[in-house]
Amino acid sequence: MPENQASSTPAVLVAVVRGGGPLQRQVEDQLRAAIRDGRLVEGEPLPASRTLAADLGVSRGVVSDAYMQLAAEGWLLVTPRAAPRVAPTTRGSDPLTKRFRSEQAFSYEHVVEGSDPLITRVVYDLRPGRPDLSRFPRAEWVRSLSAAVRAAGVAELDYPPIAGATRLREVLAAYRGRVRGTLAGAEDVILCAGAGQAFVTIAEALGPVKLAVEDPGHEGIRGLFAKRGLRPVPVRVDEAGVVVDELPDDARAALLTPAHQFPTGAVLSAERRAALLRWAQERDALIIEDDYDAEYRYDRAPIGALQGLRPDLVAHVGSVSKTLAPALRLGWLIAPPAWRDRFLEARASLDHGLPALEQFALADFITRGAYDRHLRRSGRTYRHRRDALIAALTEALPGATFSGAAAGLHIAVHVPGADEPALVEACREAGVVLDGITPHRVAPGPSGLLISFAAVPDAGAGHVAELIAAASGRFSPPEGDE
């Protein structure tokens, strides 16, 4: 057959390219993009799988599987003996990410709700903090979950240990040591329902003490600790990470994102890492390391975890929410030995433990290499999307500058003269939901936009940039700005 083959559907050109990646993925991506941008509208029928397969010169199974995947994600309605149709309310947002609320259960509803419903149409949900959920490795996860169910003995179907399944704790201790440089045994790993529950566990164990936090830093996590009686003290962040010399002498703990600072993307310098550890040792203080998306690094190998330098001083928190999906609710807390019992006591007060079968599934997923493969594939995808988005924004927003692009899943975009709240609102009205930096600040500082490139479709960077550029013309700079 020809190298490239195309087919015209009612409102979209679908093309497959031999050597351009899995054929099923190509069909999925193009149909998904067509629904997102309105070229395929609600209720519109698609060709029968046999017809489209013949037009494209691919097997019927390629098209059938693509249709079923899109139906599972909520984009299509597929019924027996009827043409697939575009599902209701799909245009304008990924049906998974649109319903997502942040891992820590902090409400972001004010971003897309609470105003005229005619202007809350979401074309792109680009808030930071989530991967591309449409690329969740479903088949691999089903394989691991099936293996877990088959292998589980009768005793393993009872209430799980409060610290988590021993098998997964062993696997995570070894895996995090290999890829992030942590130093821990299985007994140091406490499994939690995402990183949010790990932070709650730490807060309960710490009690009402003074907590140093980065400024800017994640407003939701800062609020989580404050609601539990801790007293957050903001500490300035610059291009080398948190300014350690400004940490308060009387703080009993410090909450940091050293490998990829949120939201600026700064990496804590080697000199400051050493100074931070000295600060903690001199005060017998606890360092809380939020390792939220450090697996993705695009300019070099990921920065090693701070915990690996001083396991006795650092509580290391991570999850699969940024790499696989928040819906799995699987996270971990690596505890310093002196804090382990206090953390376990606090963890036991929250629930009766995580679902065991999902823990066994993640252990299998990691052990047989599926997690590594997923990280490599998704990392390549995110690098490409990052490059495409920065190029498109550079052209559409002359003078804009970028930070935090070397790692993670989002970039910070600084638009000269922008009134940040007005620009965020104008983008939302244009269908692009994103965050500003200012809500994450305590002290005044430079403004900007936080944009997730992970959620930008492969062919969508230009459209995103056009919408943001158009929105930027709908606000007036603050009085006195030029």
Residue range 107-139, pLDDT digits in tens: 323 333 333 333 346 789 999 988 999 999 999
pLDDT value at residue 32: 82
Cα separations (Å) of 343 from 163, 194, 198, 310? 9, 15, 9, 18
Among residues of the chain, what percentage have pLDDT more than 70?
88
Which structure tokens are listed for 392? Answer: 């498109």
The pLDDT value given to residue 68: 83
Tens digits of pLDDT across the chain (482 residues)? 444 554 444 434 588 777 777 888 889 888 888 887 778 888 889 998 888 888 888 899 899 888 887 876 678 888 877 889 988 753 444 433 333 333 333 332 333 333 333 334 678 999 998 899 999 999 999 999 999 999 999 999 999 899 999 999 999 999 999 999 999 999 999 999 999 999 999 999 999 999 999 999 999 999 999 999 999 999 999 999 999 999 999 999 999 999 999 999 999 999 999 999 999 999 999 999 999 988 899 987 778 899 999 999 999 999 999 999 999 999 999 999 999 999 999 999 999 899 999 999 999 999 999 999 999 999 999 999 999 999 999 999 999 999 999 999 999 999 988 899 999 999 999 899 999 999 999 999 999 999 999 989 888 999 999 999 999 885 544 444 44
CB 311 within 8 A of CB 184: yes
Kindly state the helix (H) or strand (E) to which residue 341 belongs, with its residue range: helix 340-348
What beta strand segments (E) does 72-150 contain?
A: 76-77, 85-86, 124-125
Residue 89 confidence (pLDDT): 53
Instruction: Classify strands 314-319 and 286-290 as parallel, antiparallel or unpaired.
Output: parallel
Position 341 scores a pLDDT of 97
pLDDT at 41: 83
DSSP assignment of 192-247, as one string?
Answer: ESHHHHHHHHHHHHH-S-EEEEEES--HHHHHHHHHTT-EEEEEEEETTEE-GGGS
Residue that has been written with the tokens 């790499």 in this structure: 323
